[in-house]
Amino acid sequence: MGWFSKNNKDPIVNEPRNMSPLEAVTHLCAAIQLADGQADHEEREAWIIAIKELFPEFSEDRADKFLVEAQTTLNQKTDSESMEHISDVLQRIRSLLSDEQIKKLSPKISDLIEADGIIMTSEMDIARLIEDKLDIKIKLNESL
């Protein structure tokens, strides 16, 4: 009897327009982590450092929940759908974060992209989109 049981195990994920600041930044970081096809330990550490600096009072459990939701959402999208999602997330970040927070985000994004020691074309595409939408510069080590 399944009348009262919940059959759908998929997490409910906010649309970018309804995301909290932590949720939006986590979706952006998850997109970068998954751009090369896998999220590794170094990228996760770079994400944790970024959110600790931007949101000092964050809940690690809540942040982990957002990361899993973001990875699940992004893995279900085509490349073009993912880029559209990232663009929407960037608009949300632009509306929620102060200019100071966005400037702090720039080097954290650079660290995240460089965390695994390889810069993929897909990560560069996301970096260019971030630069365009947030009006910041993402400085990357070209020798990676």
Q: How many CB atoms lie within 10 A of CB 60?
A: 10
Q: Which structure tokens are listed for 8?
A: 């759908």
DSSP letter at 11 equals: P
Q: Which structure tokens are listed for 95?
A: 């509306």
Q: Within its chain, how far is the Cα of 119 from the centroid? A: 16
Can you tell me the distance from the alpha carbon of 54 to that of 21, in angstroms, rounded to the nearest whole number? Answer: 9
Its CATH class, for the domain covering 19-134, is mainly alpha
Can you tell me the distance from the alpha carbon of 16 to that of 85, in angstroms, rounded to the nearest whole number? Answer: 8
For the whole prediction, is pTM greater than 0.95? no
Q: Where are the domains of the chain?
A: 19-134
Residue-level pLDDT, tens digit, the chain, 144 residues: 444 444 445 556 789 999 999 999 999 999 999 998 777 889 999 999 999 999 999 998 999 999 999 999 999 999 999 999 999 999 999 999 999 999 999 999 999 999 988 899 999 999 999 999 999 999 998 777
